[in-house]
Amino acid sequence: LLRGARSLDDSLTFRLVQLFNLGSRRFEQIYGEAAGMESESFLETYDLPTLSVEERTALLRKLGGGGRAAAIVTNRPCSSPPGVFNTPEAEIGVHAAGFDRMPCVASGDLGWQATALGFDVQAFLKPSPVHLLAGLRKALGEEGDRSVEMAIRLAHFGEMDPAWQALDGSRLVLFEDAPKGHTSARAAAALLLERGVQMDLLQFGIATGPDKIEALTAVGARVHPGSASSRARRTCGWTRAPT
């Protein structure tokens, strides 16, 4: 049952989840077979951002100033390099949230490199420090696969690339509704600190239920109420000056 849980042929549940996430048109383009029914993408239609247009515009304007940058870190699937199959669910969420110009590190970016190195496909996802380290490199402006490569080299092989020094003395701010994201950030900051790169880590959790509030508080987050329906809202960023 579990071996077939992510097979279109063996699991009707997986087929329906993919159909509703992607929408029938994308489903047919990606999987190369008939969807079997017409459906819009539920991610595009119902996974709505909680930031208003004005708030999003103000945030992007602030991030556009000197000494500030941000990246999205999500465990959602995303497009992978040619020859490695994945689905663009992270891209759909990022677009729906209105942050197309913000760099993103999702499971497709991490999974194919994990497989190539002989690790489990999910080895570099949150709560692994690799995920947040790669997000920081993306926020610094690094393009392509090098951000993930440098994060893996630091976290698993102890290789310190000089570019990490750009983060020394900065403030790392994380907005995350899952404890594993905060664990990833704390581990990433600890790895850098061991190598002389000191950051002021500021953690913000998003939750309303008492169990989740307790779990987020336990990993050092300051918890605020709010909707966490849009997975594209999990963001890390850094700034040179305290704000």
Phi and psi, residue 61, nearest 5°: -65, -40
Phi and psi, residue 70, nearest 5°: -150, 160
SS3 at position 125: coil
Note whether 88 and 31 are within 8 A (CB): no
Interhelix angle for 179-194 vs 129-139, to 10°?
70
Q: Enter the tokens of residue 150.
A: 């440098």
Euclidean distance between CA atoms 118 and 136, whole angstroms = 24
The residue type of 139 is A
Alpha helices in the chain (DSSP H): 12-22, 24-31, 42-46, 53-63, 89-97, 107-116, 129-139, 146-157, 179-194, 210-218
Per-residue pLDDT of the chain (243 residues; tens, 9 = 90+): 788 898 999 999 999 999 999 999 999 999 999 999 999 999 999 988 888 999 999 999 999 888 899 999 999 999 887 667 889 999 999 998 999 989 999 999 999 999 999 999 899 999 999 999 999 999 999 988 999 999 999 999 999 999 999 999 999 999 999 999 999 999 999 999 999 999 999 999 999 999 999 999 999 999 998 653 444 345 666 555 333
pLDDT at 83 (0 to 100)? 66
43 closest CA partner among 76, 1, 84: 76
Q: What is the pTM of this model?
A: 0.88
pLDDT at 235 (0 to 100)? 63
168 closest CA partner among 137, 204, 200, 127: 200
Euclidean distance between CA atoms 163 and 188, whole angstroms = 15
pLDDT at 68 (0 to 100)? 92
Euclidean distance between CA atoms 158 and 120, whole angstroms = 19
pLDDT at 150 (0 to 100)? 97
135 closest CA partner among 161, 101, 174, 170: 174
Is-cis flag, bond preceding 129, omega within 30? Answer: no
Note whether 90 and 78 are within 8 A (CB): yes
